[in-house]
Amino acid sequence: MSVQTQRRTAMVNKVFNATNNADLQSAYADWADTYDDDTSTTASFTCVELFMAHCTDKTVPVLDAGCGTGLGGEPFKKAQWVGSLTGFDLSQAMLDKAKQKGYHAELIQGALPTLPFSDNQFGGVFAAGLFTPNAAPPSSLAEFVRVTRPGGIIVFSMRDQVKHEFELEINSLVEKNCWECLALDQRPYVQGDHDEVVLGWYCVCKVSVKP
């Protein structure tokens, strides 16, 4: 096992074993400098690819929830996205790295399940790598719906360990007519400790017309 793989494994374990937001902030602060080298862009780029496949209006403002170091912003720049891209993350250290990349018009620090944005503020939301063990809770999804305009697209990834609890919330929001689930399937997520491809779950939803 390479030194980089050992470091990545140690940091993932530290994140997954966090018991509160302070622990998560500490873990990501320790990881910020090497995060881009230690992780692949698979989850970020897959989420963005799915988002752009379903949201064809490049003028809408988009929320990058759990933006981390801002990796998900690169495809928007390449696609010449016109609408503003806002990044939101728990870790200020990660946001500082995202600021250096310059893909986001605005970067805001905060903790889910609460978002400091107005109702219907965004034309869509994507969240790559956000929903992992001991991280943002399933109730975050209702906040995504709140800040997204009717007809807007929400795309997010989930680790297999949390898929069941998030699927319950996905279905609950469908039953409440908050959104329509367009897709829920497995795709490549990240490179594993032995260079194998680890699959993750990806969900695409369309926000319903609100009363």
Instruction: Dump pLDDT digits (tens) for 8-43.
Output: 777 777 788 888 888 888 888 888 888 877 776 688
pLDDT at site 27: 81
State the chain's mean pLDDT as an integer: 91
Residue 143 in tokens: 């906040």
Supply the pTM of this predicted model: 0.91
pLDDT digits (tens, 9 = 90+) for 120-164: 999 999 999 999 998 999 999 999 999 999 999 999 999 999 999
Q: Which residues lie below 8 Å from residue 141, measured CB to CB, with a gap of 6+?
A: 154, 156, 166, 169, 170, 173
Instruction: Report d(CA 208, CA 187) in Å as an integer.
Output: 26
209 or 182: which leads in pLDDT: 182
Portion of the chain with pLDDT greater than 70, in percent: 93
pLDDT at site 118: 98
Instruction: Report d(CA 149, CA 152) in Å as an integer.
Output: 5
pLDDT at site 211: 60
166 or 193: which leads in pLDDT: 166
Kindly list the distances between the CA atom of residue 171 and the CA atoms of 112, 119, 128, in Å, as whole numbers in the listed order: 20, 22, 20
